[in-house]
Structure 1
Amino acid sequence: MKLRFLGKNSTVGDCPTLYATDRDTYLVQGWKVFANDLLMQLEVLEGETVVEVPSELFEHLTKDGLPTGEIKRIEDPIMILTPTGTFVVQGREVTDPEALAQMEIPDYESVVEVPVAAITALLEEPRGADLKRRAQPAL
Structure 2
Amino acid sequence: MKLRFLGKNSTPGDSPTLYATDQDSYVVQGWKVYANDLLMQLDVPAGHTVVEVPPELFEHLSKDGVPAGQIRRFEPPIMLVTEQGTCVLQGPAMTDAEALSQMRMPDYETCIEVPKPSITALLEENSGPDH
Q: Please list, as runs of the form range in 1=range in 2, the aligned pairs for 1:15-94 lying within 5 A after superposition.
A: 15-76=15-76, 78-79=77-78, 80-94=80-94
Using the TM superposition, give the Cα deviation of residue 42 of structure 1 relative to its aligned residue in structure 2, in angstroms.
Answer: 1.2
- Provide the residue aligned with 1:103 in structure 2: 103
Deviations 1:81-114 (A, max 9, x none): 1111001111110011100000011100000001
Query: Which sits farther off after the overlay, 5-14 or 61-70?
Result: 61-70
Give the length in aligned residue pairs: 128
Question: Structure 2: which amino acid aligns with 1:118?
Answer: S
Flag as ranges the 4+ runs of structure 1 deviating above 3 A. none
Amino acid corresponding to residue 128 of structure 2 in structure 1: G
Structure 2 CA distance for aligned equivalents of residues 49 and 42 of structure 1: 10
Query: TM-score under structure 1 normalisation?
Result: 0.88
TM-score normalised over the length of structure 2: 0.94
Counterpart-to-counterpart distance in 2, 1:69 and 1:127: 17
> 3-state DSSP class of the match of 2:59?
helix
Q: Contact 1:60 / 1:69 at 8 angstroms: preserved in 2?
A: no
Letter in 2 for 1:44: V
Indicate the SS of the match to 2:12: coil
Distance 2:121 2:35 in 1: 27
Q: How far off its partner does 1:127 sit?
A: 2.8
Distance 2:22 2:88 in 1: 24
Between the aligned residues of both structures, percent identity stands at: 67
Q: Which runs of 5+ in 1 are unaligned?
A: 130-139
Gap runs ≥5 in structure 2: none
Match of 1:134 in 2: none
* 1:68 Cα deviation after fit: 2.0
AA in 1 matched with 2:103: M
